[in-house]
Structure 1
Amino acid sequence: MHYTSLSEMIASETTTLAKGPLAIVMIEDDVEVATTLRHHQQMGFTAVIALMPAVFDLPRDLAETVIRVDYNMSDEEAMETAINSLMDPMAGQWVYYCYNAEYFFFPFCETRNVIEMLAFHTEERRDAMLSYVIDLYSDNLVDHPNAVSLDNAHMDRSGYYALARPDLDNHGHPKERQLDFYGGLRWRYEEHVPQIRRKIDRIPLFRAKKGLKIRWDHTFSDEEYNTYACPWHHNITGAICSFRTAKALKSNPGSKFEIETFKWHNSSPFEWHSRQLLDLGLMEPGQWF
């Protein structure tokens, strides 16, 4: 189904928006659009919504199975506007969001779908799920000048760390069960990344509710949504394996010609499997076995 505006889709798809889990893919350019959409369909989401420029084409199978909405992701506050516009219509449902050339993984996702995982997460009285954005990049920028290659994808196997998240409304004291996570290309090439854009933590999977708002830094107005775990034990976390930062570094004039390769001694080929991410400590199963 193809809609020319977000408001038209909301008015027409009330039944769809009331049955989750839903995936929203925000498409900024024409890189790996089809693979991103298919990946999240295969995860088990009941519907995949693509917010994308009207000029882009979709393969026939996706045009018939994805809810497409004409949307300009280059507009100011495009992400927040889209998610917050959908928040009330989706209230009560689990919602996931990402950008194109980003791929969601959770523990054991090769043999279990997202509905099974969320059933357990819900039993643990959690309404949100922390994930880390793990940068992917091609090992050969001559053959892949935009840094994107699914067959030659690499990732950093180390260099990740966390700092306490200060509560500016409480004299800068650390927030309870909240941390700021860093690493990957944003850490290695921090001179090209504004400080406020260096975090790699995101709450991409959450239960929508009326009045809830997402902010520009991927945190929510309800502080409990921003926590990495409940008070009594660790919970499931996920990973978003993303070419987005590599693409940006190789397209921005300030960094494009200064980076000849993203590979370093801590680069590893990405295996496209949750086991690799679990072994590296980049997500955890919590109490889910």
Structure 2
Amino acid sequence: MQYDSVNSFLQSGTDALKKGPIALIFAEDDVELESTTRHHLKLGFANLIAFMPAEFTLPEELTKRIHRVALTCAPRTVVFDTINKVIEAAPSNWMYYCYNAEYLFFPFCETRTIGEMLAFHTEERRDAMLTHVVDLYADDLTAFPNGVAPDRAMLDRIGYYAHTRHTPDGQPLERQLDMSGGLRWRFEDHIPYERRRIDRIGLFKPRKNLRLLPDHTFNEPEYNTYSCPWHHNLTAAICSFRAAKALKSNAGSTFDIPSFKWRNSVAFEWNSTQLLDLGLIEPGQWF
């Protein structure tokens, strides 16, 4: 199904919100839009809603499998406003959001569906899941000047840090962490301070009065926690070329970065085992 605006979708397309889990994909440009769509369909999302400009194209066989909503995803606040409108309209089904050239991985995703994983997470009385945004980048910026190369993708094997999150008056927040690492850490001089974090509550269940804030946290504190109080919970990763694209498309940074590779770069293997071994995702009690 195709809709010419978000309002049109919310008026006549809300049947897509009745069965979850639901994926919301926001296309800032058309880079790897097709591969992003295919990846998330393969994970087993019941409905996939793609927000993109009308001029972007997808193969017809993919268009038939998704709900397409015309939207220009700029300025960046448009995405948050749209997600909050969907939250208001949606039943309490699990929801996920990402941008194009981003790919969700969770423990054992090669053999288990997103629905199976979230069913277990729900049984643990969790309504949200922490995801780490793991930066991917091309191994050769001469061959791939926009920093995007899925077949030759790399990631950092170390260099990830967690800092206790605090309230504005300096009090520590229970079970909340600010995560840093990847390209946003190594090239922090080119990244605004408020966009350096790599933690995102990428999976969540809508509820009344819930709102996503522009820093990728929610107005409900428990949604922003990495686990329940009594044991570790599942976490997932969103493997993303978004930072690489931004650093190479920005005139203020592109000429300062001849390569993203460093001594701790490794080839991305496109599987959850590698992310588990690197400690970038957590299986919790799920085996």
- Using structure 2 for the length normalisation, give the TM-score: 0.99
**3-state SS, counterpart of residue 64 of structure 2:** helix
Q: Which 10-residue stretch deviates more, 125-134 or 75-84?
A: 75-84
| CA positional deviation for 1:75 | 2.8
Matched, 1:11 2:11: yes
Contact 1:18 1:89 in 2 (8 A): no
| Structure 2 counterpart of 1:262, one-letter code | F
Q: Which residue of 2 aligns with 1:64?
A: 64
Q: Which residue of 2 aligns with 1:181?
A: 179
| CA positional deviation for 1:148 | 0.5
What do the CA deviations read for 1:154-208 (whole angstroms, capped 9, x no partner)? Answer: 000000001110111xx31110000000000000000000111100000000001
Q: Which residue of 1 aligns with 2:24?
A: 24
C-alpha distance in 2 between matches for 1:203 and 1:120: 17
What do the CA deviations read for 1:103-125 (whole angstroms, capped 9, x no partner)? Answer: 00000000000000001000000
| Structure 2 counterpart of 1:137, one-letter code | Y
| CA positional deviation for 1:250 | 0.2
What do the CA deviations read for 1:222-252 (whole angstroms, capped 9, x no partner)? Answer: 0100000000000000000000000000000
C-alpha distance in 1 between matches for 2:195 and 2:219: 19
| Structure 2 counterpart of 1:22, one-letter code | I
| CA positional deviation for 1:76 | 5.0
Give the alignment partner of residue 208 of structure 2, picking from 196, 207, 210.
210
**3-state SS, counterpart of residue 147 of structure 2:** coil
| Structure 1 counterpart of 2:215, one-letter code | D
| Structure 2 counterpart of 1:42, one-letter code | K
C-alpha distance in 1 between matches for 2:75 and 2:57: 20
Q: Which residue of 2 aligns with 1:150?
A: 150
Q: Which residue of 2 aligns with 1:90?
A: 90
Matched, 1:223 2:232: no
Matched, 1:274 2:272: yes
**3-state SS, counterpart of residue 65 of structure 1:** coil
| Structure 2 counterpart of 1:219, one-letter code | T
C-alpha distance in 2 between matches for 1:274 and 1:74: 32
Q: Which residue of 2 aligns with 1:50?
A: 50
Q: Which residue of 1 aligns with 2:261?
A: 263
Gaps of 5+ in 2: none
Matched, 1:141 2:160: no
| CA positional deviation for 1:14 | 2.4
Cα RMSD (Å): 0.7
| Structure 1 counterpart of 2:176, one-letter code | Q
Relative distance call for 1:76 and 1:239 in structure 2 (3 A) is: closer
C-alpha distance in 1 between matches for 2:45 and 2:250: 33
| CA positional deviation for 1:262 | 0.3
**3-state SS, counterpart of residue 141 of structure 2:** coil
Matched, 1:250 2:248: yes
| CA positional deviation for 1:219 | 0.2
Q: Percent identity?
A: 57
Contact 1:96 1:206 in 2 (8 A): yes
* 1:156-195 paired onto structure 2 within 5 Å: 156-168=156-168, 171-195=169-193
What do the CA deviations read for 1:44-80 (whole angstroms, capped 9, x no partner)? Answer: 1001100001111111111111100000101351111
| CA positional deviation for 1:23 | 0.1
Q: Which residue of 1 aligns with 2:116?
A: 116
**3-state SS, counterpart of residue 150 of structure 2:** coil
Contact 1:91 1:210 in 2 (8 A): no
Q: Which residue of 1 aligns with 2:239?
A: 241
Relative distance call for 1:49 and 1:281 in structure 2 (3 A) is: same
Q: Which residue of 1 aligns with 2:128?
A: 128
**3-state SS, counterpart of residue 41 of structure 1:** helix
| Structure 1 counterpart of 2:28, one-letter code | E
